[in-house]
């Protein structure tokens, strides 16, 4: 029997003999590699946090004590140690366990997370609630060093400095977030890693002075000035000056040392930071060498580290990457901004070609938006490349700093729509709604890879805020022959028939082609319009649709409330149009993890469901065979 076989529920690790704990760590790493290589998931961060998680489970009692993971992509070992190892065969699959902490999954997950820099705020909330209710459990927040580039973490640290009861903040310092860490916090932590040099320096100076005449007097004066010296050289003074006790750094792969420092941290009456240094990808050479590649990965060959399915066609991120470099070559005003997602957003090539025009601001989306606004006000044309669900964190800045001033900032919004296995926190299903409500904002969505390129060129010459949203995954290469020039606020008629007209937004154009074929098979005529501009809506195209159609259908991979269908409904109502409207989008709910096709079916956005609903709504009021069809 392996040591891991003895772990079947929370706190079982406390029954493992100390001499067997290194073997348990090795078996956990092997378990993670075996399962993540089949299902995909977040690998490098979890391999690096094995001993740290074991140490936390040795000093905490679950589910009474509260452990909050920042983002949560390093929580796999926590799930294994709390009785969920048998569920890893279906990790991040529909109906299976999430890749992030989930309160609905286990009482040992006390707070749902999926975005960065939130754990200190949440942990402080738990600590305050504990004290107010007269309870006595421990609260521990774990965050990576990359999360400290987010302003929310510093807001929480500032607040935590007033706490007079125990609250442990574990800083898991692996020198990376997703891309390489940037900025002053990263440099400060790097200096702490060199702190042994300070200790040796101090010892050598004292020894030398002791051998000199009046040396003792000099040492005493130096000791009186130790505060100034500490300000310059002692590790953790950044946190100590905020009123937070600092312990560390400690080697996070040395289990006994990590357990010892965490037990010391439990004795502190106040907020305490435990600085733990770990290696991302620990124990698996491909992940150690390229931790960013193994941050979030699909199924792969464990022996080589290569994906099981080679990419056969470029995805939208690849298309963006190539086009933005071509645009920057022609237009020196173009600069690119990312929030710690250089690789994920396709900006690595841009960074290499135009290093002085590339800016990674860390995990700080709100700052990125206002930073871009400042550059735009000074005469540049910034392109902020960001995942849809991450841009939500910069909403206030979108309103106040970009759109009120009507500044030329382009937002290239990757991972828009349903993204799959990362679940609720990462589904990009709100952007059409929250962007469309902001005055001065233009919102666009391409039907295929060529149209994404055309829209990027259009925006590079557009002197106002604009957003282009495009999905995750391979770029659609159909409808190549339909290349009407991009005109501001104009949709594109692809097929013109009678009876039914489909207005499809971006990624839904491909689905609309399938829907149209299904309606044809039933004898119905069906026009197809590529919306292109979600805002402003094309009133002329809608007015044209009223002439030969009795049913207008909108299709969008976005929440229905406040989306394109709502805007169309408002327009039709304002002109008292004699046409029925059927809207397809996502109901008022969050969508869990699963494959994208499964999620489309769950949300009712698959072609089969849409066609069936159209036929049901259209009914038998008209004889379909009596309607002539003529493709334009």
Confidence of residue 348 (pLDDT cuts 50, 70, 90): very high
Q: What is the pLDDT of residue 236?
A: 73
The dihedral through the CA atoms of 420, 424, 425, 427 has a sign that is positive
Instruction: Identify any residues that bridge with 474 across adjacent strands, giving them in sequence order.
Output: 315
Global pTM reads: 0.88
Helices (H), 101-143: 119-132
Q: What is the pLDDT of residue 219?
A: 53
Nearest to 393 by CA among 117, 144, 154, 143: 117
pLDDT at 214 over 90: no
Other C-beta atoms lying within 10 Å of the C-beta of residue 439: 10
Return d(Cα 162, Cα 141) in angstroms, integer. Answer: 17
pLDDT digits (tens, 9 = 90+) for 47-62: 999 999 999 999 999 9
Task: Annotate 560-578 with three-state secondary structure.
Answer: CCCCHHHHHHHHHHHCCCC
The pair phi, psi for residue 535, each rounded to 5°, is -145, 125
For the CA atoms of 354, 147, 145, 264, the dihedral, rounded to the nearest 10 degrees, stands at: 170
Residues in contact with 470: Cβ distance below 8 Å, sequence separation at least 6, in sequence order: 316, 320, 412, 413, 414, 416, 445, 446, 452, 506, 507
pLDDT digits (tens, 9 = 90+) for 113-168: 988 999 999 999 999 999 999 999 999 999 988 888 888 999 999 999 999 999 99
pLDDT digits (tens, 9 = 90+) for 391-404: 999 999 999 999 99
CA 164 to chain centre: 34
Q: What is the pLDDT of residue 553?
A: 97
The C-alpha R_g of the chain, in whole angstroms, comes to 28
pLDDT at 247 over 80: yes
Return d(Cα 191, Cα 381) in angstroms, integer. Answer: 35
Return d(Cα 494, Cα 492) in angstroms, integer. Answer: 6
410 φ/ψ sector (left φ>0, alpha ψ -120 to 50, else beta) = beta
Active site residues: 280, 365, 393
Let me know: does 86 contact 8? Beta carbons within 8 Å: no
Confidence of residue 618 (pLDDT cuts 50, 70, 90): confident
- For the chain, give the mean pLDDT: 90
Let me know: does 585 contact 84? Beta carbons within 8 Å: no
CA distances from 618 to 549, 598, 604, 611, 624 (A): 11, 26, 18, 10, 10
| Secondary structure (DSSP) of 315-332 | BHHHHHHHHHHHHHHH-T
174 φ/ψ sector (left φ>0, alpha ψ -120 to 50, else beta) = alpha
């Amino acid at each position: 029997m392996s040591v891991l076989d003895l772990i079947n529920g929370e706190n079982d690790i406390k029954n493992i003999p100390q001499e067997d704990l290194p073997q348990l760590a090795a078996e956990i790493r092997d378990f993670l590699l075996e399962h993540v290589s089949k299902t995909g998931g977040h690998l490098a961060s979890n391999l690096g946090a094995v001993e740290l998680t074991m140490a936390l489970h040795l000093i905490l009692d679950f589910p009474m004590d509260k452990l909050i993971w920042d983002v949560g992509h390093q929580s796999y070992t926590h799930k294994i140690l709390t009785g969920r190892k048998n569920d890893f065969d279906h990790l991040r699959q529909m109906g299976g366990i999430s890749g992030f902490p989930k309160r609905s999954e286990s009482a040992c997950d006390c707070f749902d997370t999926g975005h960065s820099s939130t754990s200190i705020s949440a942990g402080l909330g738990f600590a305050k609630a504990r004290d107010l209710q007269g309870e006595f459990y421990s609260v521990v927040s774990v965050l990576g060093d990359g999360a400290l580039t987010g302003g929310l973490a510093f807001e929480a640290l500032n607040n935590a400095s007033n706490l007079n009861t125990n609250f442990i903040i574990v800083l898991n310092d692996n020198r990376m977030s997703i891309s390489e860490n940037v900025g002053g916090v990263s440099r400060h932590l790097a200096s702490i890693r060199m702190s042994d040099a300070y200790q040796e320096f101090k010892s050598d100076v004292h020894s030398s002075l002791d051998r000199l005449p009046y040396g003792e007097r000099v040492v005493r004066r130096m000791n009186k000035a130790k505060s100034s010296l500490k300000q310059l050289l002692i590790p953790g003074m950044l946190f100590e000056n905020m009123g937070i006790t600092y312990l560390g750094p400690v080697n996070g792969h040395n289990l006994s040392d990590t357990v010892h420092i965490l037990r010391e941290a439990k004795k502190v009456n106040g907020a305490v930071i435990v600085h733990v240094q770990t290696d991302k990808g620990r124990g698996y050479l491909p992940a150690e060498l390229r931790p960013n590649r193994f941050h979030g990965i699909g199924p792969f060959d464990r022996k080589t580290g290569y994906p099981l399915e080679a990419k056969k066609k470029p995805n939208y991120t690849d298309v963006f990457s190539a086009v933005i470099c071509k645009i920057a070559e022609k237009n020196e005003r173009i600069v690119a901004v990312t929030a710690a997602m250089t690789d994920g957003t396709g900006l690595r090539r841009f960074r290499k070609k135009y290093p002085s025009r590339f800016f990674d601001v860390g995990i700080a989306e709100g700052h990125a938006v206002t930073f871009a606004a400042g550059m735009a006000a000074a005469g540049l044309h910034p392109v902020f490349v960001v995942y849809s669900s991450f841009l939500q964190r910069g909403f206030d800045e979108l309103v106040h700093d970009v759109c009120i001033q009507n500044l030329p900032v382009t937002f290239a919004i990757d991972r828009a729509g349903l993204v799959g296995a990362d679940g609720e926190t990462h589904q990009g299903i709100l952007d059409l709604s929250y962007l469309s409500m902001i005055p001065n904002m233009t919102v666009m969505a391409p039907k295929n890879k060529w149209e994404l390129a055309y829209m990027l060129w259009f925006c590079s010459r557009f002197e106002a805020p604009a957003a282009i949203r495009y999905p995750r995954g391979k770029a659609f290469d159909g409808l190549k022959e339909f290349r009407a020039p991009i005109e501001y606020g104009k949709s594109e008629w692809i097929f013109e028939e009678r009876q039914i007209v489909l207005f499809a937004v971006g990624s839904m154009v491909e689905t609309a082609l399938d829907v149209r074929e299904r309606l044809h098979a039933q004898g119905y005529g069906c026009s197809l319009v590529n919306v292109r501009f979600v805002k402003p809506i094309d009133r002329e195209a809608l007015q044209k649709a009223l002439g030969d159609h009795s049913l207008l259908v909108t299709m969008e991979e976005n929440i229905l409330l406040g989306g394109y269908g709502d805007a169309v409904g408002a327009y039709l109502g304002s002109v008292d149009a004699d046409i029925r409207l059927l809207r397809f989008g996502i109901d008022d709910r969050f969508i869990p993890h699963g494959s994208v096709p499964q999620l489309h079916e769950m949300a009712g956005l698959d072609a089969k469901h849409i066609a069936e609903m159209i036929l049901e709504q259209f009914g038998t009021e008209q004889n379909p065979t009596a309607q002539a069809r003529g493709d334009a």
